[in-house]
Amino acid sequence: MHIVGRGAGGSQGAGKADREHQESRLDQPTRSKAGASKPPGSPGDHKTRNRQAGPRMLGTNLLDNRDWSAWLPRLKTTFLHLFVIYASVPFLIRLFPVLLTKCVFLNMFKIPFFVDLSRPELLLNHTVNVYLTTEPEVTIGVWHSVPASRGIEAQGKDHSWYEEALGDDNPVILYLHGNGATRAANHRVNLIKVMSAIGFHVLAVDYRGYGDSSGSPSEGGFTTDILYLYDWVKARSGKSRVFLWGHSLGTGIATNVARKLLEDRGTQVDGLILESPYTNIRDAAANIPVTKIYRQFPGFDYLVLDTLALADLFFQSDENVKVLTSPILILHAEDDPIIPSHLGRKLFEIAISAYQDKNKVRFVAFPDKLGLAHDYISFHPDLPTVVKDFLKNIT
């Protein structure tokens, strides 16, 4: 708020009076000491000065106009190019669906950079790296962290000790991360630490095409990778419970794997923990921030959303939960800017309406004032309690 003081007002008033007085005085012929008036056009005459100043001001304005006229075509050309790029993107996606897979997976971003994924001990204690060949020419990298309670015992142990440790009756989490980056991303490392601290074995995997894993990413390929990892763990874990923890993109992979196990083998996963989930990839794509500039674009559904099916991308968690029987815990931050929390709540409502035992499905919302957004639920101090309560209810 601007406050004008009385002094300032007085100065302005005085200035105006002075200007009026000066203009009045300048409008009158100036008298010499002898009482004679100066001839018009003399150096002191204001009309002469105005005529002299006029051409200079006019020249300056003409120069400014010439500068603007020179820039205007360039600006028009720039805006035209931007519009052509903007308008061409949906058509390019429709013509080349592979472009859409790149946008969905973002596996080309090997973040964080300069991390040796074969040496997890640089970021995590009591953790070992494993490479598993899920099918010919496809090898995936996996970090295995044992429960923190066995941390001292794990020091100096080799891979065979870690494999044997899986059968110690502690529960196991297969952590399926979201798109982009690697298993070494900060929020993923933090989740491993938190879950290890409360007594879980955690196996964090980079799917094919991610991190140091070979192969090319695809929805079917992800399912193959996690099914292999699941079988590998079950062959070593004995009676230990095995849970699938999916985050973001990984939630769709988790429900795909759980449904595949149930329908093909009659095997029920011990539990699903879905962090920042979506109903299906089409709904997710329609709600992510990057598509906001295209939502009103004519033909957006046909050019972009329908193209997901042409790229063999579905991730239909909403359909998967209708046939699952495994306990499900859904975690979602209300301020999630990537996957809106209403998608997680909608998935919960679909699941609970399909489950006969309503107690098997739980939804936990983290208020937006906490600032957990899309990636940082694992930093909330109450998360261990939430997970432990979930385990107690399904025992």
pLDDT at 113: 94
Lowest mean per-residue pLDDT among 18-22, 210-214, 273-277, 372-376 = 18-22
Instruction: Name the amino acid, one letter, at 173.
Output: I
pLDDT over 90 (residue 291): no
For the segment 383-388, the average pLDDT, to the nearest whole number, is 98
pLDDT over 60 (residue 51): no
pLDDT over 90 (residue 3): no
pLDDT over 50 (residue 108): yes
pLDDT at 215: 97
Tens-digit pLDDT profile for residues 38-47: 444 444 454 4
Q: Which of the four pLDDT bands, split at 50, 70 and 90, describes residue 48?
A: very low
Q: Which of the four pLDDT bands, split at 50, 70 and 90, describes residue 168?
A: very high
pLDDT over 50 (residue 161): yes
Tens-digit pLDDT profile for residues 254-270: 999 999 999 999 999 99
pLDDT at 4: 34
Tens-digit pLDDT profile for residues 176-199: 999 999 999 999 999 999 999 999
Which residue ranges make up each domain of the chain?
104-394
Q: Which of the four pLDDT bands, split at 50, 70 and 90, describes residue 296?
A: confident
For the segment 38-64, the average pLDDT, to the nearest whole number, is 49
pLDDT at 317: 98
Nearest in space to 251 (alpha carbons), one of 337, 327, 140, 176? 176
Q: Report the share of the chain in percent with pLDDT over 70.
A: 81
For the annotated catalytic residues, the residue numbers are 248, 336, 374
pLDDT over 60 (residue 319): yes
Q: Which of the four pLDDT bands, split at 50, 70 and 90, describes residue 139?
A: very high
Higher pLDDT, 139 or 45: 139
Query: What is the overall mean pLDDT for the chain?
Result: 86
pLDDT at 362: 98
pLDDT over 80 (residue 63): no
Architecture of domain 104-394 in this structure: 3-Layer(aba) Sandwich (3.40)
Q: Which of the four pLDDT bands, split at 50, 70 and 90, describes residue 290?
A: confident
pLDDT at 89: 79
pLDDT over 50 (residue 336): yes
- pTM value surpassing 0.85: no
pLDDT at 255: 98
